[in-house]
Amino acid sequence: MRFKSQACFMARRDESAVLACMACVDLNPIRAKMEVTPETSKHTSIQHCIQALIKGKQPRKLLRFVGNPR
């Protein structure tokens, strides 16, 4: 499967811009038809966030970044 890397340039560096970027990343597996819903996504942190929300808590941590940080 091919993938595409896209830079995220935020003109406004505020909380809403960061949340929009996170939502875009969390929805990528659905757009790629790798997952059906965010709740079933194993490739982003959204599944952990949803499980914490169901329990009425904040997630303790997000998934670690794996790969080349550059």
Domain-wise residue ranges, the chain:
15-54
Residue type, 20: A
Using the predicted structure, report yes or no on whether residue 69 has a pLDDT greater than 70.
Answer: no
pTM of the model: 0.57
* pLDDT band at 61; cut points 50, 70, 90: confident
Among positive and negative, which fits the CA dihedral 67, 21, 1, 5? negative
Q: What is the pLDDT of residues 18-59, one digit of tens each?
A: 778 888 888 888 888 989 988 888 878 888 888 888 898 887
Q: What is the secondary structure of 30-44 as a DSSP string?
A: HHTTS-SSGGG-SSS
